[in-house]
Structure 1
């Protein structure tokens, strides 16, 4: 007979989840977790499998995994005589690593998908040692039928969160699991001890640089009442003034710029144009740890007298088919016009969708509007050499080699030979190539030697001031017979978005809006959900779908988060956490 009265009470008196009570069945801690599980839509019935999320591409290079791996191995060895498994999850309850001592237990854990890549958050699985510990921020012990979902009643698990020793935030979790019939409350203490060991490892590997930067960060905060930001070991943080100064899109932009400011440079102060359209002045202070860079401190202020942007005027584009008056785009256009006039072969380097081919076409038309142009895609699966010869034999005076960084070594040499032969003939064609921003791809390229120079085409997020002009031009092309003007509030959303797909994504967004609103004024509701999000990391397809559902629900509920959580069937706490994780702003 079971000698544990608390466990016997759960076993004999458990009623359906809809009637669970915090007073007559389990401890209030477990009952509260059951309540959250129920609100999240988890069905406890074993005939209904739990909702599962799986990520195949786990980041096993992150510092958490590197620090935790030897501790998991040691704990695995210490528990070699016991039927227990030890696991590491990230801060989102995604299982990263698992160490098993018993093949029978391992098979049982696999059968309930407690394995690397699967998510064991409370809102997906219900009460469990991983999700409940992360939800509460405390070490927990969940025994047998205390698990909300019947599928995992056979297990007992203990979970202990791992906290960042500098910032205090949760970085991940240590879980120890076994069969319920062999459970021992000491599992919680073992998990807690292992979590503390990982925290110590994090402190010893990252603390030297982070502590140095943190000291300078605090000194900067005391020195001046301005917004202060720091970046060290991948951790970006701000003081209270900084947290209020920028919106999520602008802060994400500054975080990206901070990474570029870690490199060697004599620049100590600069001005940055934000996606929102404003400008900030940034004082840069590199923090060094011996010969290495420990991080960077940024003191940020808005200019006291920003230039008025109330005067709007339209000007003809410098190159046909393109538009923009920002310094970045103007510089790029002028350089290309100058090179076109001398037939200097040019590589246009930039992110996909940034307008590289548009610039090449525009420069050709600017130079000789009557002559044809030929575009050759350098897809290695196609007959690139043959199509290039055909282009050079045609009447085209400009030949664009698209994505030359995709050529393998054999094709690179073959295409280089064809281009070299053309350049020795008369008249030689003007050759323009496009390439990604990955500089390593062309380091050993024979073809690259046929070009005079390289022009970097700016990503759209680096010249957001051009967004209104690009929109006007594109709307004139997409809906020439329609008055499809964009209101100021929608324009602000479009200017603040980070545009990972650049101009191509902007065009697709306008097409989406025009389809959503065949007639009438386009509003923010007509834009794709992604434009209301600024995530801090690349999201999985599942997370993107989840983000879109949340944005749609918030829009339909007029921004009311309580109503949105109810319509989505999830707990308000889960909704708030996801809004923060996905960087949703409405």
Structure 2
């Protein structure tokens, strides 16, 4: 296949694609992969494989594959062949090779641990095409979509879960030696089969271990409610099933999944349930033979269901009125109000769209006593001039008497600016009389953060997915706001679907959805068929980080484009068919196909 011709990369790729389709030896699998690569608008003239730090080597796939690959590496000795394991997203988890020249060549094309070799980024290649097609593939030389990969010959085989047959990743062999396609593919198939066999053994041992610990907990003298789970299995006894029902049931499972995902956590955790009750979870890990099989929870439910008011008033003055009655939200409001009234420096931590700014404005309105609220955004750049101007603004605002300074999104500040800000705030200054409030996202906050430690109080604002009981109240509030005249409401089925949504953008996304519905001529009652695609997510599967990002991108795209699937697919650089396939994968079911 000739090298790229003059002109744009996409035009050249289309011309080469036509040549591939005319080649009698071209396999349908390769032709289909080239078509997908063109739809993704992959640049054939340069390699662009994204990089993820710290790929997960603690997955069942990695634990099963690495010993097998290590043994194979010893057998291959000095052969110029590289062995690789990737996850189902195309992230290279492990690479083994003993030929120094091949190491340099693979590094030049970014075929190294942490880089993502999915077709979406790299076009037709052994790893990405095997994952996309679900079939063993041999991609040799000019069959690669990106020019820089055309010196390599790659044999890749998908690795499936031996029981559920879901895609876990791929095993890949790469060489520059020609004429070895048959040997490479036979070896790749053999090794992939060994890995699947080891995964079956590990999964069986893990599930047996978790089941045994679960049975031990259930058969103790006073078992009570018991829950055991990992990424693949959920077990609960009858005591838990009858004690925790409805929204409390979903809330408990969501919290338990998040706790179980942290293999280091053991101990006691208390969570507030939508009904107003508190679930005390005693968490133990199921560890056998050096492997973590999941978590076992002994559950104690405290209190009785409390029907909370729609409008929550704080413990001080009754002026703080915010929609929501879930225990997590009421606690955040009460703690924020108490810190504000005491004049303490306050750090509000929460995901984007959870209502941190709304909470600050409501509390300030109730307790301002004439104090002015000044909001300072993170600077658009951190050049010396911009940094100096921004720090001067913060210093001057703090010097104003009776001023409340709100520093928004401090997680966006670079390390250098954070250090400057920390020194500014920590330095005693008799003229600085203003109160300080900071907001940030939870993933960016650490316990040893000096800037965070300057605040006398820290409040966690809960995400909407943990506020099941507030969905109905928020829907009514936004309907009244955007449809003040005329009857409006939500059918029970539509409300139940809204309560099951993951809401990646939290309250802000819910408000946008209701605003769009209120402006459409859909009659008085909102029914399931009226809901936009981002509200019709029915999948509760645990997603990888890349899957969650991709799902959220699709949801936001549909929301921004008024549920137009075709336009969303075009803007995301994928075909309409691929868009529908991904929507089915993530449980996004549109009410109508636009």
Name 2:234's counterpart in structure 1. 238
Shift of 1:447: 7.5
2:57 pairs with one of 62, 66, 76: 62
Name 2:180's counterpart in structure 1. 183
Structure 1 position 372 matched with structure 2 position 372: yes
Over 3 Å counting, the alpha-carbon distance change for 1:581 and 1:394 in structure 2 is same
Unaligned runs of 5+ in 1: 1-15, 20-24, 558-566
Question: Which segment drifts farther, 100-109 or 373-382?
Answer: 100-109
Over 3 Å counting, the alpha-carbon distance change for 1:95 and 1:298 in structure 2 is same
Name 2:284's counterpart in structure 1. 286
Counterparts of 1:241-320 in structure 2, within 5 Å, are 254-259=256-261, 263-266=265-268, 272-273=273-274, 286-287=284-285, 289=287, 295-298=294-297, 314-315=310-311, 317-318=313-314, 320=320
Q: Secondary structure at the match of 1:182?
A: coil
Question: Hey, what's the Cα distance between the residues in 2 that align with 1:262 and 1:203?
Answer: 25
Q: Secondary structure at the match of 1:175?
A: strand
Question: Hey, what's the Cα distance between the residues in 2 that align with 1:532 and 1:176?
Answer: 41
Name 1:215's counterpart in structure 2. 212
Contact 1:96 1:117 in 2 (8 A): no
Structure 1 position 398 matched with structure 2 position 407: no
Contact 2:311 2:321 in 1 (8 A): no
Question: Hey, what's the Cα distance between the residues in 2 that align with 1:388 and 1:280?
Answer: 41
Question: Which segment drifts farther, 203-212 or 347-356?
Answer: 203-212
Name 1:5's counterpart in structure 2. none
Over 3 Å counting, the alpha-carbon distance change for 1:416 and 1:200 in structure 2 is farther
Question: Hey, what's the Cα distance between the residues in 2 that align with 1:544 and 1:530?
Answer: 9
Name 2:510's counterpart in structure 1. 506
1:518-574 CA distance string (max 9 Å, x none): 78566656655433335623346666566789999xx999xxxxxxxxx9446xxx9
1:470-494 CA distance string (max 9 Å, x none): 34444555x3655584423443333
Name 2:545's counterpart in structure 1. 538
Shift of 1:73: 6.5
Question: Hey, what's the Cα distance between the residues in 2 that align with 1:83 and 1:404?
Answer: 49
Contact 1:412 1:447 in 2 (8 A): no
Structure 1 position 469 matched with structure 2 position 473: yes
Structure 1 position 416 matched with structure 2 position 414: no
Unaligned runs of 5+ in 2: 1-18, 566-574
Question: Hey, what's the Cα distance between the residues in 2 that align with 1:582 and 1:83?
Answer: 40
Contact 2:83 2:173 in 1 (8 A): yes
Shift of 1:325: 1.6
Q: Which has the higher contact order (CA 8 A, sep 6+)?
A: 1
Q: Secondary structure at the match of 2:338?
A: helix
Counterparts of 1:66-465 in structure 2, within 5 Å, are 68=65, 72=69, 75=72, 78-79=75-76, 84-93=81-90, 116-120=115-119, 131=129, 140=136, 158-162=155-159, 170-177=167-174, 182-183=179-180, 185-195=182-192, 212-217=209-214, 230-231=228-229, 235-238=231-234, 254-259=256-261, 263-266=265-268, 272-273=273-274, 286-287=284-285, 289=287, 295-298=294-297, 314-315=310-311, 317-318=313-314, 320=320, 322-368=322-368, 370-377=370-377, 379=379, 381-382=386-387, 383-394=389-400, 396-404=402-410, 406=413, 408-417=418-427, 421-422=430-431, 428-437=433-442, 441=446, 443=448, 445=450, 448-449=453-454, 451-465=455-469
Contact 1:143 1:180 in 2 (8 A): no
Name 2:571's counterpart in structure 1. none
1:5-26 CA distance string (max 9 Å, x none): xxxxxxxxxxx9999xxxxx99
Shift of 1:582: 2.2
Shift of 1:392: 3.8
Counterparts of 1:19-34 in structure 2, within 5 Å, are 34=28
Q: Secondary structure at the match of 1:408?
A: helix
Shift of 1:308: 11
Shift of 1:335: 3.1
Shift of 1:496: 2.0
Name 2:490's counterpart in structure 1. 487
Contact 2:87 2:93 in 1 (8 A): yes
Question: Hey, what's the Cα distance between the residues in 2 that align with 1:166 and 1:462?
Answer: 33
Aligned residues: 520
Over 3 Å counting, the alpha-carbon distance change for 1:430 and 1:105 in structure 2 is closer
Over 3 Å counting, the alpha-carbon distance change for 1:551 and 1:469 in structure 2 is closer
Q: Secondary structure at the match of 2:296?
A: strand
Question: Which segment drifts farther, 336-345 or 154-163?
Answer: 154-163
Over 3 Å counting, the alpha-carbon distance change for 1:332 and 1:86 in structure 2 is closer
Shift of 1:156: 6.8
